[in-house]
Chain A
């Protein structure tokens, strides 16, 4: 089922964090799992026409030149990139860069820093950076057999709450910039109460006559997803609905449909071991763009 963004529902500007990215902040510790983020960061910098900033957070002290030459960047990838100051503690530097840069997007591997003893946790630097709740960040789990990263299919995961809608604009924007298609996925959750947030729309509880209910519901869902988020042009959204546990359903669909990037709102929940966001990052097999949105 597809829903087309209606022009009248496509405000150009939005007060939320939907403006273009101007700086990509790539965080590396110099180890191979961390370096998996390089192609993604470079591609995103190219897509957004943003400046790539590389912040080294490894334990060995490296000069900027060493970072540029020894961490696996190609000559092309180095072109236009800024290799940042390496003094001070790692997290402090990341925070400082995030604050200083205009419209930053953090990109990093889940395995940046000291590996965690608990397999459900990410490496130390990743955990620390996530804990600061950056407005937008891309996390990816290193692939043992990495492929060149292209952006042709985006999965926008949406739980039907208005506070998830800020993820719509970044997904649409990337789709427009890269020519990717967007699948909007809603998971009809089991084991969850209906959200109390006003304006939430979940998979229908009553499906009186599917021949009428599904088209009406799909239109309403997409209207809500699109109306509150800014989107620059008429992007084709394909709507998909599955049921089950949100994290694993999102990850499964991402793998099935060979998705290159999952985009989802993130409300800052992180500690719980069954946190859906963690599951998506660990199991979807592609980078995940988290758009922070405080819960209502």
Chain B
């Protein structure tokens, strides 16, 4: 055992080619369409930049902070599922910020290199979307006239999710100096550290020592262990030195080397991270892991990561010929979505800001199921399945919540963390001084329908019976049971759901929210359908569930009946759904009168006042008509869009993408374009400041949906895939891959034709707007061409 140890080790001269070789072109994307670039340095934007340039692999995420720090740097590392819980009354669990492994201060002869001192000759941060790497290029003249060039990258390996790499290459352009790289990883204040068992310094080792550090999540007890090692390489083959001080709470490493005029040296850092969630001995796992990686070198690990990213892009990239901005915005969205999911862990889901920031405390909302999940279903079904398994593993907590409110079945929490319990804060003080009571945890119950909806969508689109039978069906049944217990039946036998908050959160505690009731009715029907399916196709499982959940035939028969009698506020004359009972009586506010505005409408009018108006926060009825597209006719969808769109204030980042999607489907091209642009700027607009606490993961998923489901008009039907494209006039081609029931499709939409390439030897029924389905046999290529009034039937182009 150790308490505090200091030691020094000579780093053996490394092959000088290794340094330059690592920085070779194979690690650098050159195509600017794949690069998000931030030139210069604006201190005030640091938090935004850190979020946008975050790296992650679904297991671990890290913000793109400056290695040497700045007055506004907020470096943070998060591991999915690692939450801390303060013992302050009313506190809710929050995603834990772990020790920062990226901090490296550089000095030359003891003079620190500092971006705010001296002169920045060049400074550029680059997110290589294609390769999942964060690069920094910096050329700086210090007060002594020394010009230093830095080229650095960081990555969270997609090939080996426990591995983090950090490389800094320094070129002393016009001076010779002793260069020092000093890094300090420490356990945050208020957090317990954990002593590594059996760790000791190995002297005379051929390789640098691997150093241990671990923390214990307050209130949870989860241990997260790091293994850290550093190596220094030099073009001049001079050996470097590593001076280490380590105790239970921090690791301080100083790597130093003499650098000649015009020559370069490179610091390589490898970090391994394991938690007690997936390892019984996270220390040993981290140390053993690094010992396996080190002999193979950083290059190999980095290349494996790059290869993995390439393969993920093969199944996910969206190309938009004719609109470089939107294409890049899509790639930015997809990059963060790929970074957020872990196909190896079914006990975590994606928080509102994924692993890119501390805002929203890592809490999981309906965002995952309604906005993000479709991307995974059609590009990475395994990741989609794992996200849904999270809802299975938290099903008991949802059952407990239902019971605590006097209901049956599963009532999913509006916000959840690691345990699946409700973790929505109950109050907040707005900067106006107004104390807002937060009732979403109690009233925003439509999330329960969202979970069931997502399971059904996943199952229908993937054909993953194994998941449905063993996980999904039980959830759908329990969600249906919840709605059956939550609704009330009035004397006229109509069913109602009172006291809820719909997606339009400007109006809380409303009765008969159309969105909620429609989704509840849908869930009740799917619940009944699930019971029938299980009974017929998987009777053994059905028997198991009947024994466990005590279903009776009477109960199951009531569900479709409730659904049929559900009050939806639909008026067949106007073809409109009233958003909730009494909505039409609200004071009409002409939103155009408030434009241009820089703030949300509830900020302008105040929380109290806005409830009395007809201003809708975000897609609500409009969202329902899209999600329930198999049950709502296109003219009803269009009528509701045209009614509610002018009344929607888009006070939520979830709103623009759905409006773009529906507008594209109903041919409102100008609106579709505007909303798509708005959706793409939620994080990328450089004067919004929205992204400081992390990227808006749901908005990014919504952007993908807007393009694929809206502009390409893709629909996954019960037995076919269909398309009804409506490209923007300046788009020459929109192409993207899809995976549907195990078959890979490559979709290419041009103004005059849709081409589908089937990758595997499977039969897929293809449909295009207004045409009968066509049995396409893969592999092969099929085309449908536009006619004056629609589309021609599909024909085969090639095999």
Q: Among the listed stretches A67-75, A234-242, A273-281, which one makes contact with chain B, having 4 or more residues with CB under 8 Å of it?
A: A234-242
Name the residue on B nearest A195 (C-beta): B687
With A and B bound together, what is the CA distance between A190 and B599 in angstroms? 8
- Chain B positions within 8 Å of A211 at CB level: 424-425, 427-428, 436, 438, 440
Name the residue on A nearest B427 (C-beta): A211
CB contact list, A176-220 vs B, under 8 A: 186, 188-218, 220
With A and B bound together, what is the CA distance between A199 and B42 in angstroms? 7
Task: Decide if B360 is an interface residue (CB 8 Å cutoff).
Answer: yes
Docked-complex contact A190 and B431, CB < 8 angstroms: no
Docked-complex contact B428 and A199, CB < 8 angstroms: no
Task: Decide if A227 is an interface residue (CB 8 Å cutoff).
Answer: yes
Docked-complex contact B430 and A241, CB < 8 angstroms: yes
Docked-complex contact B42 and A206, CB < 8 angstroms: no
Docked-complex contact B598 and A189, CB < 8 angstroms: yes
CB contact list, B422-454 vs A, under 8 A: 424-425, 427-433, 436, 438, 440
Docked-complex contact A198 and B686, CB < 8 angstroms: yes
- Chain A positions within 8 Å of B440 at CB level: 209, 211
Docked-complex contact A192 and B596, CB < 8 angstroms: yes
- Chain A positions within 8 Å of B696 at CB level: 206, 208
Docked-complex contact B425 and A194, CB < 8 angstroms: no
The interface bits of chain B over 677-712 (1 if a CB of A lies within 8 angstroms of the residue's CB, else 0) are 000001000111110110010000000000000000
Tally of contact residues, B, Cβ under 8 A: 50
- Chain B positions within 8 Å of A239 at CB level: 431
Name the residue on A nearest B415 (C-beta): A209
Residues of A within 8 A of B (CB): 1, 8-9, 11, 160, 162, 165, 186, 188-218, 220, 223-224, 227-228, 239-244
Closest CB in chain B relative to A220 CB, distance in Å:
4
Docked-complex contact B47 and A220, CB < 8 angstroms: yes
Docked-complex contact A212 and B352, CB < 8 angstroms: yes
Closest CB in chain A relative to B635 CB, distance in Å:
31
Residues of B within 8 A of A (CB): 42-45, 47, 71-72, 352, 359-361, 363, 365, 424-425, 427-433, 436, 438, 440, 594, 596-600, 602-605, 607, 650-654, 682, 686-690, 692-693, 696
Contact of B45 among A1, A198, A203 (CB under 8 A): A198
- Chain A positions within 8 Å of B604 at CB level: 188, 190, 243-244
Docked-complex contact A243 and B687, CB < 8 angstroms: no
Contact of B599 among A165, A202, A214, A218 (CB under 8 A): A202
Docked-complex contact A207 and B689, CB < 8 angstroms: no
Closest CB in chain A relative to B225 CB, distance in Å:
27
- 27 inter-chain pairs at a CB distance below 8 angstroms, sorted by A residue, are A1-B429, A188-B599, A188-B603, A192-B598, A194-B596, A198-B687, A199-B42, A200-B689, A201-B44, A203-B599, A204-B599, A205-B690, A206-B650, A206-B682, A207-B652, A209-B365, A211-B424, A211-B427, A211-B438, A214-B428, A217-B431, A220-B47, A220-B689, A223-B47, A223-B72, A241-B432, A244-B604
Closest CB in chain B relative to A29 CB, distance in Å:
41
Docked-complex contact B600 and A202, CB < 8 angstroms: no
Name the residue on A nearest B690 (C-beta): A206
Docked-complex contact B44 and A162, CB < 8 angstroms: yes
- Chain B positions within 8 Å of A224 at CB level: 44, 72
- Chain A positions within 8 Å of B605 at CB level: 243
Contact of B652 among A9, A193, A199, A208 (CB under 8 A): A208
Docked-complex contact B598 and A242, CB < 8 angstroms: no
Contact of A207 among B42, B352, B603, B688 (CB under 8 A): B603
Name the residue on A nearest B363 (C-beta): A212
**Given A188-B599, A243-B599, A227 contacting B43 (CB threshold 8 A):** yes
- Chain A positions within 8 Å of B688 at CB level: 194, 205
Contact of A210 among B430, B690, B692, B693 (CB under 8 A): B430
With A and B bound together, what is the CA distance between A214 and B602 in angstroms? 12
With A and B bound together, what is the CA distance between A215 and B431 in angstroms? 9
Docked-complex contact B600 and A1, CB < 8 angstroms: no
Residue from B44, B71, B72, B365 whose CB has the most chain A CB atoms within 10 Å:
B44
Docked-complex contact B653 and A1, CB < 8 angstroms: no
Contact of A214 among B365, B429, B686 (CB under 8 A): B429
With A and B bound together, what is the CA distance between A192 and B599 in angstroms? 10
With A and B bound together, what is the CA distance between A200 and B690 in angstroms? 10
Residue from B427, B599, B682 whose CB has the most chain A CB atoms within 10 Å:
B599
With A and B bound together, what is the CA distance between A15 and B650 in angstroms? 41
Docked-complex contact A206 and B653, CB < 8 angstroms: yes
**Given A205-B688, A212-B361, A220-B693, A227 contacting B598 (CB threshold 8 A):** no
With A and B bound together, what is the CA distance between A259 and B561 in angstroms? 64
- Chain A positions within 8 Å of B363 at CB level: 212
- Chain A positions within 8 Å of B599 at CB level: 188-189, 202-205, 243
- Chain A positions within 8 Å of B352 at CB level: 208-209, 212
Residue from A11, A216, A240 whose CB has the most chain B CB atoms within 10 Å:
A216
With A and B bound together, what is the CA distance between A89 and B682 in angstroms? 55
Docked-complex contact B596 and A207, CB < 8 angstroms: no
Docked-complex contact A227 and B72, CB < 8 angstroms: yes
With A and B bound together, what is the CA distance between A241 and B436 in angstroms? 15
Docked-complex contact A228 and B689, CB < 8 angstroms: no
Docked-complex contact B44 and A227, CB < 8 angstroms: yes
**Given A203-B599, A216-B692, A210 contacting B687 (CB threshold 8 A):** no
